[in-house]
Amino acid sequence: MNTPNKTAPTAVTVAEFIDSVPTERRRDEAQTLLDIFGRASGQPAVMWGTSIIGFGSSHYRYATGREGDTATIGFSPRKAKISLYTARNFREFPELLERLGTHELAVGCLYVKKLADVDLTVLEELLTRSYEVARFDYDALAEDD
């Protein structure tokens, strides 16, 4: 059985969410990321769940049969680190990661402590390429149906 995702688009506005971020630095970084992610995706920002700002939507299907929708790219201005998400894997772009600056990688996330630690031009290129690859792959998957 395919249970619904816990993280789905909500009616909360992105502005309301950013206003609720506790620190001024994280609010300012979120505003900067809104611009970067918007340019990288060409999509409007939408709240996914309680704390992820997503851009675009991609449908996925795993070999197990589980399927659902997720933000194609997105971020969350968390207290300790900013979490950056993609429907693909940031490790697909090692040449960009090498030039990005100080960051950590997890399975589907890239973490930065503060935006000043990374090259924002490289970040935008990484997000643009991640978005394009994810859109191509997920669109191709949908056409196989």
Element housing 4 (H / E): none
pTM of the model: 0.86
Cα–Cα distance measured from residue 11 to residue 127, given in angstroms and rounded to the nearest whole number: 25
Beta bridge partners of 83: 76, 111
Percent of the chain with pLDDT over 70: 89
Q: Is the pLDDT of residue 40 over 60?
A: yes
**Mean predicted lDDT score pLDDT of the chain:** 87
Q: Do residues 90 and 110 make contact, with C-beta atoms less than 8 angstroms apart?
A: yes
pLDDT value for 4: 62
Write b or e for each residue in 29-57: b if 16 or more Cβ atoms lie within 10 A of its Cβ, otherwise e.
bbeebbebbeebbebebbbbbebbbbbbb
Cα–Cα distance measured from residue 14 to residue 100, given in angstroms and rounded to the nearest whole number: 26
